[in-house]
Amino acid sequence: MFYDLLRRLSTECQNQDKGVYCLWYTVWPIIFLCSAKGLETFINNSKQLVKSFDYILLEPWLKTGLLTSKNEKWRSRRRIITPSFHDTQLLNNYMIIFNEQACILARRFDDCATQPNKTHDPYPYISACTLDIIVEAATGTNPKAQSGDEKNEFVEATVRITEILSLRSRSPWMWPPFIFDRLVIGREQKKVLKVLHGFSRKVIEERLTTFNAEQVKNGDDKKKSTRRLVFLDSLLTQMHAEQLSLDDIQEEVDTFMFEGHDTTAAALNFFCYLMGCYPDVQAKVHAEMDSIFGDDRERPCTMDDIQQMTYLDCVIKESMRILPPVPIIGREAQEDFVYCGQTIRKGTHLNIFIHGIHFDANIFPNPNKFDPERFAESSLISKERSPFAFIPFSAGSRNCIGQRFAGLEERVVLSTLFRRFIFRSTQAIEDIHLTIKGLLRTEVPIQMSTHVLHNKQEWLNDQRNIQHANIKQESLRQIYVFR
Ligand code: HEM
């Protein structure tokens, strides 16, 4: 309900050619920026990089890692960490991890496909896969969220901390630490954090021991390492030159795991769901997979394959426009500035309303329509669109550092799934009730059925499914009209 209200206000603002509205939380004004116009001057201003006060809730877990830090500390960390997302050897290693874990996910979906008439919630499967990926890419250790049969303390703690943080962020009376720490939930958070910190500390110390032993043997030649190098190795390599302590490394490893897990899970989950709603689009995705992989459902997806996924690229973008995993981000204005004709004062709490910006009809004509073609390179509108109109990964120098990593991960996982399966959604979008709990969530779990893909041409020509798509498109349209 509240989230619908935020979206409705944003649409009304845009219809009146305004880009900003204010809600009062008791005596605090909270400003929502919902227009791409003018966002550039704010988001690209190197003085406006400080996150809003609510990010402090993350600090017991992430301390002041890249996501939560500010000023000089943030600048220095961003410089140190950026190479880990561009190093070819590391990216190739991440690709191996994506492929291995995507195959396990596909095997788990195979089980669902044995009962095609039953529906299931894909989220727990996808979330376990993205957790295995991010933890292995960060630390080199796989927590086996997907394949472990036994109760896993770390996996359980990861799920629980997300729930606790989401609940606390929606309950301002729990914000002061002196209250929260005395509540049952506050004490539970302490226990959960002990498990999470214990895990990351242990893997860092183990990796450091191996790293030091290799340094003695091989010197600086990382090519001689027989291990699969990961994010943590990149930090350990810079440890002495950059004077990073083990605590510094730990906060960045924890941040990497937090930011890279649920965001990607939400993106993949929403993508599969939307494909279930739009079988005509899904059929084109299948056709593209067919043109790249032929009948080979097993071979790993490569960087070259990804270059060819031009249609999938448009569908991923349209899916993140319609359902962006991070719908709102917070900043605190560090100096007065003018946005859409309004002066916003220093110290104001600002929300950049990504989801609202993505539905601006002045930029995305007929914004409720799921239309991947808007992102096609040949589309004139796509060429003319402001780079601040579509910002699922934020924008400016404080944008998502993991954007490339996430893009590759999504394409490997999706190409593995859409070579093998057809997804059908059994719910109209108005039934899943969008809400915000840090990330974009649904009040009602998504339910889908999974079918083994036998013959793609048959699916392309299946008029019954296309008709089904039209019905679903109609229902998608309805929720965004805000009855
Ligand atoms: C589809 C997946 C993802 C989405 C939609 C996403 C989105 C975002 C957004 C909107 C921000 C800005 C947050 C803010 O200003 O408060 C952000 C920041 C960040 N993201 Fe991502 N992200 C994704 C995946 C990842 C992955 C896989 C990683 C790591 C491997 C990652 C690491 C980070 C970090 C460290 C920051 C903080 C950057 C800084 O403040 O300098 N993200 N992400």
Tokens describing residue 405: 């990593």
- d(C-alpha 10, C-alpha 33), whole Å: 8
- Intra-chain end-to-end CA distance of the chain, in Å: 12
- Whether residue 305 has pLDDT greater than 90: yes
pLDDT band at residue 445 using 50, 70 and 90 as cut-offs: very high
Q: What is the mean pLDDT of residues 420-430?
A: 87
Q: Which residue among 48, 169, 262, 263 has the greatest number of ligand 1 atoms within 8 angstroms of its CB, and so is best to mutate?
A: 263
> Ligand 1 pocket, 254 CB below 6 A?
no
Question: Would you say 72 and 51 are in contact if contact means Cβ atoms under 8 Å apart?
Answer: no
Q: What is the mean pLDDT of residues 382-395?
A: 92
- Whether residue 155 has pLDDT greater than 60: yes
User: What's the mean pLDDT when you consider all of the chain?
Assistant: 91
pLDDT band at residue 384 using 50, 70 and 90 as cut-offs: confident
* Sheet of 20-25, strands arranged across: 20-25, 28-33, 349-353, 328-332
- d(C-alpha 145, C-alpha 463), whole Å: 39
- Whether residue 478 has pLDDT greater than 50: no
* Listed residue (147, 165, 144) closest to 155, CA to CA: 144
Q: What is the mean pLDDT of residues 375-381?
A: 82
> Ligand 1 pocket, 257 CB below 6 A?
no
pLDDT at 382: 72
What tens digit of pLDDT does each residue of 229-281 get?
999 999 999 998 889 999 999 999 999 999 999 999 999 999 999 999 999 99
pLDDT at 463: 45
Question: What backbone phi and psi angles, to 5 degrees, belong to 293?
Answer: -105, -10
* Listed residue (321, 316, 314) closest to 377, CA to CA: 314
- Whether residue 149 has pLDDT greater than 90: no
Tokens describing residue 26: 């008791």
**DSSP label at residue 171:** -
CA–centroid distance, residue 264 to ligand 1 (Å): 10
Higher local confidence (pLDDT), 481 or 380: 380
Task: Give SS3 for 355.
Answer: helix
- d(C-alpha 366, C-alpha 381), whole Å: 13
CATH of domain 2-481: 1.10.630.10
Q: Helix 246-277 vs helix 279-293: angle between axes, to the nearest 10 degrees?
A: 110
- Whether residue 474 has pLDDT greater than 80: no
Percent of the chain with pLDDT over 70: 93
pLDDT at 223: 66
Higher local confidence (pLDDT), 124 or 218: 124
* Listed residue (8, 10, 14) closest to 31, CA to CA: 10
Question: Would you say 146 and 134 are in contact if contact means Cβ atoms under 8 Å apart?
Answer: no
pLDDT band at residue 224 using 50, 70 and 90 as cut-offs: low
CA–centroid distance, residue 69 to ligand 1 (Å): 14
> Ligand 1 pocket, 270 CB below 6 A?
no
Residue 376 exposed, middle or buried by CB count within 10 Å (0-12, 13-18, 19+): middle
- d(C-alpha 467, C-alpha 124), whole Å: 30
pLDDT band at residue 152 using 50, 70 and 90 as cut-offs: confident
Q: What is the mean pLDDT of residues 111-134?
A: 93
Q: Helix 279-293 vs helix 463-481: angle between axes, to the nearest 10 degrees?
A: 120
**22 marked ligand binding residue:** no
Residue whose Cα lies nearest atom 21 of ligand 1: it is: 400
Which region, left, alpha or beta, applies to residue 338 given φ > 0 means left and ψ of -120 to 50 means alpha? beta
> Ligand 1 pocket, 6 CB below 6 A?
no
- d(C-alpha 11, C-alpha 18), whole Å: 10
pLDDT at 422: 94
- d(C-alpha 308, C-alpha 405), whole Å: 17
Unique residue bearing structure tokens 């939400």: 266
Other CB atoms within a 10 A radius of the CB of residue 457 amount to 11
What tens digit of pLDDT does each residue of 324-349 get?
999 999 999 999 999 999 999 999 99
What tens digit of pLDDT does each residue of 21-77 get?
999 887 888 899 999 998 998 999 999 999 998 999 999 999 999 999 999 999 999
Q: What is the mean pLDDT of residues 314-324?
A: 98
Q: What is the mean pLDDT of residues 411-421?
A: 97
Distances from the Cα of 413 to the Cα of 10, 222, 300, 420, angstroms: 33, 28, 10, 11
Tokens describing residue 177: 């630490």
Q: Is the dihedral of CA 192, 168, 66, 270 positive or negative?
A: positive
- Whether residue 417 has pLDDT greater than 90: yes
Residue whose Cα lies nearest atom 37 of ligand 1: it is: 67
- Whether residue 306 has pLDDT greater than 50: yes
- Whether residue 286 has pLDDT greater than 90: yes
Using CA atoms in the order 381, 384, 390, 395, what is the torsion angle rounded to 10 degrees?
Answer: 170
Tokens describing residue 435: 């809400």
Q: What is the mean pLDDT of residues 203-207?
A: 95
- Considering just the CA atoms, what is the radius of gyration of the chain in Å? 23
pLDDT at 458: 60
- d(C-alpha 20, C-alpha 47), whole Å: 21
- Whether residue 454 has pLDDT greater than 90: no
pLDDT at 482: 30
